[in-house]
């Protein structure tokens, strides 16, 4: 299967991410259809020209037309959808997704999937602190990273196809990680960061802090405006990795705390210098 | 003492903050002089037109000309400077500062100061992740918050003068806090945030993370590029408050960790919703 503009793409789920995919792919000249729950959402996507057609119910004949299916659902809904509806999918179609955790999804889907279908996991590292198709825009992909997470069950051509898809949609970089590597990385870089922001915002009623809040604190807590239903699900699906990352952070934080409590200036400064050095790797990349 | 353009202002210390003050005040038409350690720094300030004149050593006659002295030194250097040189200051001059902690500075300076001089503390909540006069710019004050920290020893006219100074320099908001209120607030909003960023960057050698790092993590850790000498001093000068804020954060973080470990979805979601609600107060202000 080559990436060519004649393939028909079905997006399942038209939230922020599904809507943004739909816009990006329609823009690139693909024929894009969608399945979502609410007529209102579909109407919005049709009006905006994100999709050519769509359905608000499972229509076997409709589903059967598509060569590529992209699932932009909450994790458990994705698994249920495959269990209930995979019999309608066109033979030899390719499936991919946008789910933010991988081990608990990729292996499950691959194990339950019809043998003539192929599922390749992907994680677009893009988003907004807002949910719903009304905030969807392909702009969120520019500058962002698209991670393909193949397993031993994936074919080389599916991996290549999925990488091309990321490039087509306008992601800045496309890379590959195994599902366990992905989950460790995302547990640290994204989930732990969200846990920290949430915990910070739990500390105090912030009304009286607003007048004094500088940019650093705002930056640190922007991601605290979290979709609780989606993120609690993602956290629990990556529970072991996330707990490991939280414990690692707590160990370093406690080390710094004890340095301050003991007034051990030299050890505090050494930690700060190491931290600065680590952070500078990011700047080198930013400057490119 | 009214704020009028005839007063002569001395900036003691020409780092990022002293340099930015100098530029802002010269720009407003004040006669600004400076004392700093290195000739190179003074030359830079003179070339840029940040100051009209300056000295690289303690010159009693020079110091004695100024009506307003602004101290932009590291905390312990500030205290030593007052101890050693306050006899040269013009009678009835006003002194202020930029120090990021207040209880350990304001009361100490006020207690040791000549009775004909008045010191009023201030904290410009502005800065950059860079040090030195070469990065100084009055632009850092626009949109920022200027906090005046009066005590019972301060006169109403000095408080009013200091507030006007913040407005003149282009700060967006000027407010007042007592030194203990200031230190609690800054311990939470600024110092704790820096401790978190530093601890995060200590967790892993970030070289292999660069390719996967999204905006949230970059935002969260930008302030990890910390000046270790200055910040270790500020942390220890606010030790009790900072430890209290770190412990409060750790309590909330542990609560979230345990919710995840126990797979207590309802309690995780409740924490996320409360966090989101607290964070939204900031947005209301941002929208103004």
Instruction: Choose between A72 and B214: higher pLDDT.
Output: A72
CB proximity list for B181: less than 8 A, separation 6 or greater: none
Contact A279 B219 (CB under 8 A): no
CB pairs under 8 A between A and B: 282
A233–chain B nearest CA distance, Å: 8
Q: What gap in Å lies between CA A182 and CA A190, rounded to an integer?
A: 11
Across chain B, mean pLDDT equals: 93
* Chain A hits for B101, Cβ within 8 Å: none
- pLDDT score recorded for residue B62: 98
DSSP B135-199: G--GGGGTT-EEEEE--TTS-HHHHHHHHHHHHHTT-SEEEE--HHHHHHHHIIIIIIHHHHHHH
Contacts of B229 in chain A (CB under 8 A): 269
Q: Which residues of B touch A234 (CB under 8 A)?
A: none
Give the integer Cα–Cα distance in Å for A265 and A258: 11
Query: How confident is the model over A198-210, as a mean pLDDT?
Result: 87
Beta bridge partners of A176: A148
| Whole-number pLDDT of residue A206 | 74
| Cβ proximity of A12 and A81 under 8 Å | yes
- Residue A287 is predicted with a pLDDT of 45
Average pLDDT over residues A146-162: 97
Question: Reading across the β-sheet that carries A118-125, which strands appear in turn?
Answer: A53-55, A31-35, A8-12, A68-71, A94-97, A118-125, A145-149, A173-176
Q: What are phi and psi of A54, to 5 degrees?
A: -170, 175
Per the CB < 8 Å rule, is A189 touching B209?
A: yes
Give the mean model confidence (pLDDT) for residues A109-124. Answer: 97
Residue B2 pLDDT grade (very low, low, confident, very high; cuts 50, 70, 90): low
Q: Which residue has the tokens 């495959």?
A: A82
Q: Which two tokens stand for residue B155?
A: 């006169």
Nearest CB partner across the interface for A216, out of B190, B268, B284: B190
Q: Residues B198, B202, B207, B210: what is their CA dihedral angle, to the nearest 10 degrees?
A: -50
**Does the predicted model carry a pTM greater than 0.95?**
no
Q: How far is A248 from chain B (nearest CA, A)?
A: 6
Q: Which residues from B are below 8 Å from A248, CB to CB?
A: 203-204
Q: What distance in Å separates the CA atoms of residue A153 and residue A115, rounded to the nearest whole number?
A: 11
Query: Rounded to 5 degrees, what are φ and ψ at B264?
Result: -90, 80
Of the listed ranges B68-72, B110-114, B225-229, B247-251, the least confidently predicted one is B225-229
Enumerate the β-bridge partners of residue A35: A12, A55
- pLDDT value at A13 more than 60: yes
Nearest by CB to residue A265, choosing from B190, B236, B272, is: B236
**Closest residue on chain A to B206 (Cα):** A278
B246 vs B248: CA distance, rounded Å: 5
Q: Do A214 and B261 touch (CB under 8 A)?
A: no
CB–CB of B228 and A201 under 8 A? no
Q: How confident is the model over B62-101, as pLDDT tens digits? A: 999 999 999 999 999 999 999 999 999 999 999 999 999 9
What would the pLDDT profile of B8-31 be if each residue is shown by its tens digit?
A: 999 999 999 999 999 999 999 999
- Which residue in the set A201, A231, A282 is minimally distant from B206, CB to CB? A282
pLDDT tops 70 at residue B103: yes
The per-residue pLDDT of chain A, averaged, comes to 93
Which of A189, A243, A261 lies closest to B243 in CB terms? A261
Is residue A46 predicted with pLDDT exceeding 80? yes
Return the sign of the alpha-carbon dihedral for residues A122, A124, A125, A131. Answer: negative
Nearest to A267 by CA among B230, B223, B190, B228: B228
Residue A276, Ramachandran bin (φ over 0: left; ψ between -120 and 50: alpha; else beta): alpha
Nearest to B79 by CA among B35, B110, B125: B110
Highest mean pLDDT among A120-129, A271-280, B59-68: B59-68
């Amino acid at each position: 299967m080559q990436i060519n503009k004649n393939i028909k793409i079905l997006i399942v789920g038209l939230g922020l991410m599904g809507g943004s995919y739909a816009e990006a792919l329609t823009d690139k000249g693909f024929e894009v259809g969608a399945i979502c729950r609410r007529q209102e959402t579909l109407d919005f996507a049709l009006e905006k020209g994100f999709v050519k057609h769509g359905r608000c119910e499972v229509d076997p004949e409709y589903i059967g037309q598509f060569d590529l299916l992209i699932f932009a659902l909450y994790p458990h809904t994705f698994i249920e959808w495959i269990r209930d509806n995979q019999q309608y999918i066109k033979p030899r179609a390719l499936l991919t997704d946008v789910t933010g955790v991988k081990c608990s999804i990729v292996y499950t889907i691959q194990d339950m999937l019809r043998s003539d279908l192929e599922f390749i996991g992907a994680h677009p590292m893009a988003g907004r602190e807002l949910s719903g198709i009304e905030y969807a825009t392909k702009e969120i992909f520019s500058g962002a990273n698209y991670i393909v997470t193949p397993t031993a069950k994936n074919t080389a051509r599916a991996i290549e196809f999925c990488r091309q898809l990321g490039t087509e949609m306008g992601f800045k970089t496309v890379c590959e990680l195994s599902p366990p590597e992905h989950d460790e990385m995302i547990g640290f870089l994204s989930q732990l960061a969200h846990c920290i922001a949430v915990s910070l915002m739990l500390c105090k009623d912030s009304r009286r802090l607003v007048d004094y809040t500088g940019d650093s604190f705002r930056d640190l807590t922007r991601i605290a405006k979290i979709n609780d239903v989606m993120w609690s699900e993602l956290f629990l699906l990556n529970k072991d990795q996330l707990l490991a990352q939280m414990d690692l952070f707590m160990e370093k934080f406690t080390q710094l705390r004890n340095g301050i409590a003991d007034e051990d200036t030299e050890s505090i400064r050494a930690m700060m210098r190491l931290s600065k050095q680590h952070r500078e790797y990011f700047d080198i990349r930013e400057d490119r």
